Amino acid sequence: MRNDTVFELGRAVVLLQPGSARRRFRVKSAVLTVLPRGRLRLRLEGPQGWVAIEISRTRFWQLTEALHESSIRARDSAPLPRPRRQQP
């Protein structure tokens, strides 16, 4: 029995660059599938087709940890919004 997890992605875009040509396509959803022998498949689906990466669970969790840490550092280093002046 396969348990796929589907995430709606909104307005995401995938960039592919085979050689010097660059292609973009819209992605509407991501499907995460647990495969045998400790592997995962992340499939990005859109109106023009799909692209997938198959990766070990360990590498996948390391990747998600790196993304999480990078986003925290980016948020912490972003300038704070300036307080608005109150109207008298």
Q: Looking at residues 17-43, what average pLDDT do you find?
A: 92
User: What is the rounded CA–CA span in Å between residue 50 and residue 88?
Assistant: 56
Residue 12 falls inside a structural domain: yes
* Buried/exposed 33-61: b ≥16 CB within 10 Å, e otherwise: eeeeeeebebbbbbeeeeeeeebeeeebe
Domain count, the chain: 1
Report the side by side order of strands in the sheet with 5-16. Answer: 5-16, 23-35, 39-46, 49-56
Residue 87 falls inside a structural domain: no
Question: What is the tens place of the pLDDT at every residue in 48-78?
Answer: 999 999 999 999 999 999 988 888 876 666 5
Residue 84 falls inside a structural domain: no
Determine the structural domain holding residue 21 and report its residue range.
5-77
User: What is the rounded CA–CA span in Å between residue 84 and residue 47?
Assistant: 43
